[in-house]
Amino acid sequence: MKNSSKVLIALAAGVAAGSALGVAFAPQKGSETRKKWKDDLKKLKNYQNGQCKKEKLIRVKSKLENVLQKINSKIEAYEHEKTTVA
């Protein structure tokens, strides 16, 4: 399991545990509790979306760096060939 998956699972567990403890120790009206849980879940979803976007950007960056490396290698090979032929 990737570290990011472990973090997300731990975060979800933390949100669930925190919400449950919040209800147990600071009871509110049901509508207020549901709103709080909804807000917490929305925060978790936003965090997950941000993490996924960040991971995707890291993968894209890595691929672009590999392509750039290949292009630079071809340019160097071309320049080397050009100087040895001249």
**DSSP assignment of 33-78, as one string?**
HHHHHHHHHHHHHHHHHHHHHHHHHHHHHHHHHHHHHHHHHHHHHH
Q: What is the pLDDT of residue 65?
A: 93
pLDDT band for position 69 (cuts 50, 70, 90): very high
Q: Angle of helix 30-85 relative to helix 3-25, nearest 10 degrees? A: 160
Q: How confident is the model at residue 39 (pLDDT cuts 50, 70, 90)?
A: confident
Query: How is the chain split into domains, by residue range?
Result: 3-85
Residue 64 pLDDT grade (very low, low, confident, very high; cuts 50, 70, 90): very high
Pick the more confident residue, 59 or 86.
59
Chain centroid offset of residue 82 CA: 45
CA atoms of 69 and 71, how far apart (whole Å): 5
CB 15 within 8 A of CB 40: yes
Per-residue pLDDT band for 42 (boundaries 50, 70, 90) equals: confident
